[in-house]
Chain A
C-alpha cells in the first residue's frame, strides 16, 4: 500500500464503470484544491504567513502553492495584519479588482476587529469595508491556525454553489458594502 493520500471524491452515484456527480460539486472540488491566495500582508501576521508558506508548515500541501500577487488572478484574499485607515481604500480597491469567484480571509485580531489597536488611526476590522468569509483568531495566529482557516475556506468553496455571484443572498451582502 502506498501512503500517498488523495482527495476524496465528492458524493455521487457510483456503479461499475461510471461515476456521476453534480457539476457544482466537481467544480467546487477542483477550485478548492487550486486556490490562488493573494497575501495582503501588512504586519506581524504577515511574518507568520511567511512561516506558513515556508518549509516547515508548507501551505502548498493544500493546493495553494501559487501565490498570486496580482488581484486579477487571485481567488482568495488573505488579509494579514493591521489595516490602518490610510490603507483601507487600497484594500478595498484590491478586493474590487479581484474576479469572481473570490473569497476573503481575515487573519488575526487586527484584520478581524482591530485587535488591541482601538485607536483613531486603525480600521476596526476589515468587515467594515469588504465582506469576509473566514476569520482566524490570534495575535498573531499560529501557522496551524492559518492553515485551519484555509481549510475552512476550502470547505466553503466545496459546498457553495458554483455560481455564487448569482445567489441573491450574496448579491444582497455585496450591495450592503456598496459593491455591485
Chain B
C-alpha cells in the first residue's frame, strides 16, 4: 500500500464518519483526531480493516482536571505497510468514565486497557478481565490522576522535626 498523506487519511475518515470526527491538528506530522465513545470502536475497526492500520501501538489516558470532560483516552495506531500513524482521542466526563473495550479488535489492547484503568480509573466496558495490573490490588485511588500526590502521604521520615525545624 502506497503511503497516504494525512489529508487523504482525514478525508477518508470524514467521508465515512462525517461530523463524528473532529481534527485536532497534526503536530509533528501525526494526524490527531477526536471522536466520541459511541463511535470509537467503529473508527478503530474501520482504521484496521479498511485502512490497514493493523498495529495498535498504545493506549493511554490523560487527565485535565479543569476541563468539562477531564479524562482523555488516547489511542496510537500504526499502519506498518504505509508507514503512517494516527492518534485518536476520546474525552470522557468525570462522572461517567466508561468506554467500550478495544480487545475485540486487538488482543494486545488487553493489558494496555488494564494499565489505563489502574492509573486513571477509566472503565473499559466489555473488557474480559479489568483488574489492577501494576499497583497493589487493594489500592483505592487511581494514582495518575492529578489530585493524587507523587509521594506516599503516610510516610513520616520527612517530617520537619527530623531536621530540627
Residues of A at the B interface (CB closer than 8 Å) are 85-86, 118-121, 124
B135:A118 contact, CB within 8 angstroms:
no
Q: Would you call the interface of chain A mostly helix, strand, loop, or mixed? A: loop
Do A120 and B157 touch across chains, with their CB atoms under 8 A apart?
Answer: no
**One of B31-39, B46-54, B69-77, B146-154 contacting the partner:** B146-154
Chain B residues, Cβ within 8 Å of A120 = 143, 148-153
**Can you list 22 contacts pairing A with B, beta carbon distance less than 8 Å?**
A85-B136, A86-B135, A86-B136, A118-B150, A118-B151, A119-B150, A119-B151, A119-B152, A120-B143, A120-B148, A120-B149, A120-B150, A120-B151, A120-B152, A120-B153, A121-B134, A121-B135, A121-B136, A121-B143, A124-B152, A124-B155, A124-B157
Chain A hits for B157, CB < 8 A: 124
Contacts of A118 in B (CB 8 A): 150-151
> Number of contact residues on B: which range applies?
10 to 19
* Cα-based distance from A124 to B154 in the complex (angstroms): 12
Which B residues are in CB contact (< 8 Å) with A85? 136
- 19 additional contacts, CB 8 Å, given A118-B151, A121-B134? A85-B136, A86-B135, A86-B136, A118-B150, A119-B150, A119-B151, A119-B152, A120-B148, A120-B149, A120-B150, A120-B151, A120-B152, A120-B153, A121-B135, A121-B136, A121-B143, A124-B152, A124-B155, A124-B157
In whole angstroms, what is the CA distance A118 to B151 when docked? 6
Contacting residues, chain A, for B150 (C-beta < 8 A):
118-120
Residues of A close to B136: CB separation below 8 A: 85-86, 121
Distance in angstroms between the alpha carbons of A85 and B151 in the assembled complex: 13
Bound state CA distance, A85 and B155, in angstroms?
Answer: 13
Q: Which residue of chain B has the shortest Cβ distance to A121 in the bound complex? A: B135
Measured in the bound complex, the distance between the Cα atoms of B152 and A86 in whole Å is 14
What are the residues of chain A within 8 A of B149 when measuring CB–CB?
120
CB-nearest residue of chain A relative to B132?
A86
Q: Could you say which residues of chain A place their CB within 8 Å of the CB of B143? A: 120-121
Closest 7 CB pairs of A and B: A120-B152, A86-B136, A118-B151, A119-B150, A120-B143, A85-B136, A124-B155
Indicate the member of A86, A120, A121 with the most B CB atoms within 10 Å: A120
B152 contact set on A, CB distance < 8 A = 119-120, 124
Q: How far is the CA of A118 from the CA of B143 in the complex (A)?
A: 14
Q: Produce 1/0 per residue, B122-165, CB < 8 A to A.
A: 00000000000011100000010000111111010100000000
Contacts of A86 in B (CB 8 A): 135-136
Q: Which of B18-49 contact A (CB under 8 A)?
A: none
Give Cα distance in the complex from A121 to B133, angstroms: 13
